[in-house]
């Protein structure tokens, strides 16, 4: 429908499988889709991953697993003195015990190879009515019949290790900024009594805080203008007014009026428009600006310009910076941390569903100061 090819994977359930096994199945399903969707006339460059309820939690765990594996892979390559772009194909297997949700300090480190590359392979993650804080919600779940002992068994004895919110809070902010999909969209009904809306709000808040940490660190080291050019995931939270836990996947489907589907279609259309505009910019700049689906390594990718920088160089750099700045959402907290002069208003949605505005910075760059030297990860 709406031009989408839908791949509805399944995963093994408890007691035949535990959460780490379920995440394995999600890894395999996403990797299979990336590798095979072209056979079904799908576009492998435009894959959107949606998880609902437990599915949102499992997809998040899968994304975080890939981020940790890719980061460990790059760190090992750096330690070995090799140049590794952080890709999956041709990548070496790495040692990282922390990626295993049920590993202990006494166990032998697990060998992990990324199943896929979230930033490169997935355009957006859509988490719908997810419950992400299993450790914090243990009492709530117990009151609803998922008893503490069963939850602990479901999590292979490590409830914190199987809690997406806890794992996100512990994850390296720079790795998240580099490897997560460029759009992280959280949708939740404000009448959901099965998975409280605060679950999605907490995830969005923690992830925004991580991105603010990356930008603030770059600003402190290189300056605010440079920090604003760093591509980070756009984190969005949208409250579905009046929706219960099942409204987006049952009632809305029966009526044919789905706010969730409309949001996803709008997101895909916006991505297509952005791709077309980026292609036009690259054409105008004779191919000097980077592809929107490639990751730019900062600051190694920038070198001070020679005195003889041409007008073409300036135009190419201006197009590059424009594209990079457009990929970033700056929260009010980030702006305050950077002490930026704020410009025009930009809309935002609060956890309670009421709209408010924060002021986004006016981006100004001096491209003649820099010559673009592309250093692109595969």
pLDDT (0 to 100) of residue 286: 66
The Cβ-side half-sphere exposure at 27, using a 13 Å CA radius, reads: 20
* Among 155-169, 232-246, 267-281, the least confident range: 267-281
Residue 359 above 60 pLDDT? no
**The token pair that represents 15 in the structure block:** 């007691």
pLDDT (0 to 100) of residue 1: 55
Give yes or no for a contact between 127 and 203, defined as CB atoms under 8 angstroms apart: yes
**Alpha-carbon gap, residue 176 to 93, rounded angstroms:** 20
Q: State the pairing for strand pair 48-52/124-128.
A: parallel
Q: What is the per-residue pLDDT across 53-101, written as a single tens digit (0 to 9) for each?
A: 999 999 999 999 999 999 999 998 888 876 555 443 333 333 333 334 4
294: left (phi over 0), alpha (psi -120 to 50) or beta: beta
Give yes or no for a contact between 132 and 51, defined as CB atoms under 8 angstroms apart: no
Mean pLDDT on 222-228: 81
Would you call 27 helix, strand, or coil by DSSP?
helix
Domain boundaries, the chain: 19-286+350-355
pLDDT (0 to 100) of residue 81: 77
Residue 378 above 50 pLDDT? no
Report CA 128 to chain centroid distance, whole Å: 14
pLDDT higher at 258 or 336: 258
**The token pair that represents 239 in the structure block:** 């409250």
CA neighbor of 288 nearest in space, from 254, 259, 312: 312
pLDDT (0 to 100) of residue 223: 85
pLDDT (0 to 100) of residue 112: 75
pLDDT (0 to 100) of residue 225: 80
pLDDT (0 to 100) of residue 227: 81
High-pLDDT (> 70) share of the chain, %: 67
Mean pLDDT on 227-234: 86
293: left (phi over 0), alpha (psi -120 to 50) or beta: alpha
pLDDT (0 to 100) of residue 154: 97
Residue 174 above 50 pLDDT? yes
**Alpha-carbon gap, residue 129 to 186, rounded angstroms:** 8
Predicted TM-score (pTM) of this structure = 0.71
Q: What's the CATH class of domain 19-286+350-355?
A: alpha beta
Q: What is the per-residue pLDDT across 179-204, written as a single tens digit (0 to 9) for each?
A: 999 999 999 999 999 999 999 999 99
Query: Confidence class of residue 320 from pLDDT cuts 50, 70 and 90?
Result: very low
User: Omega into 46 within 30° of 0, i.e. cis?
Assistant: no
CA neighbor of 88 nearest in space, from 166, 35, 29: 35
**The token pair that represents 56 in the structure block:** 């949102």
Mean pLDDT on 299-316: 35
**Alpha-carbon gap, residue 324 to 241, rounded angstroms:** 33
pLDDT (0 to 100) of residue 300: 34
**The token pair that represents 145 in the structure block:** 């019949």
pLDDT (0 to 100) of residue 282: 85
**Alpha-carbon gap, residue 205 to 193, rounded angstroms:** 21
**The token pair that represents 31 in the structure block:** 């990797």
Give yes or no for a contact between 115 and 89, defined as CB atoms under 8 angstroms apart: no
Residue 340 above 50 pLDDT? no
For the chain, the average pLDDT equals 75
pLDDT higher at 102 or 345: 102
pLDDT (0 to 100) of residue 291: 47
**Alpha-carbon gap, residue 307 to 316, rounded angstroms:** 16
pLDDT (0 to 100) of residue 278: 85
List C-alpha distances in Å: 278 to 288, 326, 374. Answer: 12, 10, 16
The stretches of 223-258 forming alpha helices (DSSP H) are 224-228, 252-255
Mean pLDDT on 276-283: 87
High-pLDDT (> 90) share of the chain, %: 54
Residue 111 above 90 pLDDT? no
Give yes or no for a contact between 242 and 354, defined as CB atoms under 8 angstroms apart: no
CA neighbor of 207 nearest in space, from 45, 63, 91, 314: 63
pLDDT higher at 12 or 366: 12
Residue 245 above 90 pLDDT? yes
Residue 109 above 60 pLDDT? no
Mean pLDDT on 225-244: 90
Give yes or no for a contact between 113 and 35, defined as CB atoms under 8 angstroms apart: no
Run of H or E including 278: helix 259-284
pLDDT higher at 231 or 26: 26
Q: State the pairing for strand pair 111-112/94-95.
A: antiparallel
Residue 255 above 80 pLDDT? yes
pLDDT (0 to 100) of residue 226: 80
DSSP letter (8 states) at residue 98: G
First vs last C-alpha separation in the chain = 32
Mean pLDDT on 19-33: 97
């Amino acid at each position: 429908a709406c031009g989408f090819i839908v791949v509805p994977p399944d995963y093994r359930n408890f007691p035949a499988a535990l959460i780490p096994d379920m995440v394995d199945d999600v890894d395999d399903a996403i990797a299979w889709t990336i590798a095979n969707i072209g056979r079904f006339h799908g576009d492998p460059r435009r894959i959107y991953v949606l998880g609902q309820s437990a599915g949102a939690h499992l997809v998040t765990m899968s994304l975080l697993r890939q981020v940790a594996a890719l980061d460990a892979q790059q760190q090992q390559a750096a330690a070995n003195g090799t140049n590794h772009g952080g890709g999956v194909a041709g990548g070496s297997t790495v040692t990282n015990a922390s990626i295993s949700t049920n590993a202990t300090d006494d166990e032998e480190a697990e060998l992990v190879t990324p199943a896929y590359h979230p930033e490169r392979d997935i355009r957006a993650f859509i988490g719908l009515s997810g419950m992400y804080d299993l450790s914090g919600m243990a009492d709530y779940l117990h009151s609803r019949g998922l008893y503490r002992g069963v939850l602990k068994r479901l999590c292979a004895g490590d409830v914190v290790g199987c809690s997406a919110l806890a794992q996100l809070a512990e994850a390296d902010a720079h790795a998240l900024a580099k490897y997560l999909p460029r759009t992280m969209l959280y949708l939740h009904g404000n009448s959901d009594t099965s998975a409280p809306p605060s679950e999605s709000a907490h995830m969005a808040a923690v992830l925004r805080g991580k991105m603010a940490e990356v930008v603030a660190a770059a600003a402190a080291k290189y300056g605010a203008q440079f920090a604003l050019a760093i591509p980070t995931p756009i984190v969005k939270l949208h409250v579905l007014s009046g929706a219960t836990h099942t409204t987006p996947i049952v009632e809305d489907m029966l009526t044919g009026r789905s706010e969730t589907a409309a949001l996803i279609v709008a997101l895909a259309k916006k991505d297509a428009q952005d791709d077309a505009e980026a292609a036009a910019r690259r054409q105008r700049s004779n191919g000097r600006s980077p592809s929107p689906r490639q990751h730019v390594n900062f600051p190694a990718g920038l070198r001070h310009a020679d005195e003889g920088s041409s007008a073409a160089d300036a135009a190419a750099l201006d197009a590059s910076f424009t594209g990079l700045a457009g990929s970033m959402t700056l929260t009010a907290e980030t702006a305050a941390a950077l002490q930026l002069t704020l410009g025009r208003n930009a809309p935002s949605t609060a956890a309670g569903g009421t709209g408010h505005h924060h002021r986004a910075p006016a981006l100004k760059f001096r491209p003649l100061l820099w010559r673009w030297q592309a250093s692109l990860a595969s």
